[in-house]
């Protein structure tokens, strides 16, 4: 009974220190795809901040597993409202999800957005980060 209660309470729990690490890994993943010149909705959201990361926030962060790899849902929020970028309106809020895994190497956030192997190229450019305008 106690075990079931503990599991129920921990299902959406993310320790406060981990939340910041998850946030860092989300922005690092978007930055990675920005350098690849991606035109995804989350990269355009990132570019619309004009390089000012202080305008970018991760809110409403919830994960479905208390330990191990985690699938999480969250909202990306950019201060300043929707903006025009290359003839398109870029929203200031995105609903997102991503699968995270622990990073076992030093020098990076403790959590990383999981990437998938793309065949036949054999590169890890596929990401589990998915976003859409609400």
In a domain, 51, yes or no: yes
In a domain, 41, yes or no: yes
C-alpha torsion sign, points 15, 18, 24, 28: negative
pLDDT tens per residue, range 54-91: 999 999 999 877 666 789 999 999 999 999 998 999 99
Q: Which two tokens stand for residue 118?
A: 């793309």
Q: Which two tokens stand for residue 38?
A: 């991606």
In a domain, 6, yes or no: no
In a domain, 7, yes or no: no
Are 128 and 115 in contact by the 8 Å Cβ rule? The answer is yes
In the chain, the number of structural domains is 1
In a domain, 78, yes or no: yes
The residue that leads in pLDDT, 40 or 3, is 40
pLDDT tens per residue, range 10-39: 444 455 567 788 888 899 999 988 887 788
Distance of CA 50 to the CA centre of its chain: 19
Instruction: Look at residue 45 and give its three-state secondary structure.
Output: helix
Give residue 121's pLDDT. 57
In a domain, 5, yes or no: no
Domain that holds residue 100: 12-132
In a domain, 120, yes or no: yes
Are 60 and 97 in contact by the 8 Å Cβ rule? The answer is no
In a domain, 43, yes or no: yes
- Measured in degrees and rounded to the nearest 5, phi and psi for residue 130 equal -130, 130
- pTM exceeds 0.85, yes or no: no
The residue that leads in pLDDT, 19 or 52, is 52
């Amino acid at each position: 009974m106690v075990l079931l209660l503990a599991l129920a309470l921990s299902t959406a729990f993310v320790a406060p220190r981990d939340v910041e690490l998850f946030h860092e890994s989300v922005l690092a993943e978007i930055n990675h795809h920005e350098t690849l010149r991606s035109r995804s909705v989350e990269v355009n959201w990132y570019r619309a901040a004009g390089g000012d990361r202080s305008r970018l926030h991760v809110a409403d962060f919830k994960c479905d597993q208390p330990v191990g790899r985690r699938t999480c849902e969250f909202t990306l929020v950019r201060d300043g409202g929707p903006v025009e970028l290359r003839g398109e309106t870029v929203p200031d809020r995105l609903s997102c999800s991503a699968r995270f895994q622990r990073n076992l190497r030093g020098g990076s956030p403790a959590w990383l957005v999981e990437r998938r192997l793309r065949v036949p190229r054999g590169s890890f450019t596929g990401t589990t980060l998915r976003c859409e305008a609400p």
